[in-house]
Amino acid sequence: MPRPIQATIHHAALRHNLQRARRAAGDAKVWAVVKANAYGHGIERVFEALRGADGFALLDLAEAERVRALGWRGPVLLLEGVFEPRDLELCSRLNLWHAVHCEAQIDWLAAHKTQQGHRVFLKLNSGMNRLGFAPASFRTAWMRLDALPQVEEISLMTHFSDADGAKGIAAQMALFEEATRDLPGERSVANSAATLRHIDTAGVRGDWVRPGIAVYGGAPDHPVFNAAHWELQPAMTLASKVIGLQDLLPGDSVGYGSSFVADTPMRIGVVACGYADGYPRHCGTGTPVLVDGVRTRLVGRVSMDMVTVDLTPVPQAGLGSEVTLWGRAGSGAVLPVDEVAFAAGTVGYELMCALAPRVPVVVAEEPPASS
């Protein structure tokens, strides 16, 4: 029998979350962002569920080739553009749209020999200070692109740094509006947080929205709001089973470093999941977990292959009991990945992307159980 740990990708949840983003987007078109191997879910595993999107946005040419190999003939956007001149050859061959965020990328386009005009997304650095042209040089970049026979159409984009927090998007949106004033072309500014929190702000809806984490059921602004608040469903469940039991007396410790010491008699379950499976090592005592659908807690340190859980709230549990590390239990109870990530001092994105290759993954087509 294989080790009893498994990740499940829920197609019904992916479809639901994509539709949730589409409802927020109104008349705007929706990119399904599948960078980082679809946030750890697997591009090939999510494709059928997300093919209702208007396009796929991702990072590198290998991911783009995989999407085209699956039969997608619609728009594919390289969010960071090309990384060297020869990448443009594949953009021409596969009809890839690509971001332009620096002068070198314009130079490469100018030297590119092609019979097919390129669709580019000119990126403004409106305050994130990662990629993009400064406002003072944005129009010059646009004019350079507009003069190139290699460029068929120019769209305009930026990325918000604080759409999920108190600072908000007003300052960046004002910079974008000023930098793009009177310029033609479709616009794309809204990530998950902007799509859910700020979509009614003037200009935010634009022509394309780019939901990422929301498509996979993570709240972009946790812990201010959780996934249920935004009507999102978990697209990934990481589940295992209890493989061992221990009865502790007061004073007994658990795991490496004896970081947890029982103060009363208690029963704990040993679970086949550890940091080698992608579960965060920094999750400490108190991190939420579901056993047979009942919420309880981790006790002691996470080790390479095992965690230990408090069975006090679920006295009927025993060997083989279902353990939901995040996602949806068989009973329908939900443990949001964001809660587990918060306990580890990180974000749900990291947990999804960090799922280890040794964890078996299956795809479930069934609609999610109600919680």
State the catalytic residues.
Answer: 35, 256
Phi, psi dihedral angles at 136 (to 5 degrees): -70, -25
CA-closest candidate to residue 242, choices 267, 266, 272: 272
* Structure token pair of residue 93: 């061959």
Q: For the chain, first and last CA: distance in Å? A: 30
CA dihedral 248, 254, 259, 260 (to 10 degrees): -30
Cα 72 to Cα 66: distance, rounded to the nearest angstrom: 9
CA 276 to chain centre: 21
242 contact partners, CB below 8 Å, separation of at least 6 = 269, 270, 271, 291, 309, 317, 318, 319, 320, 321, 323
Closest among 106, 136, 140, 104 to 121, alpha carbons compared: 106
Question: Any bridge partners for residue 268, and if so which?
Answer: 246, 310
CB of 185 within 8 A of CB of 166?
A: no
Contacts of 171 (CB under 8 A, 6+ apart): 127
303, exposed or middle or buried, with CB in 10 Å at 0-12, 13-18, 19+?
Answer: middle
Pairing of strands 288-291, 322-328: antiparallel
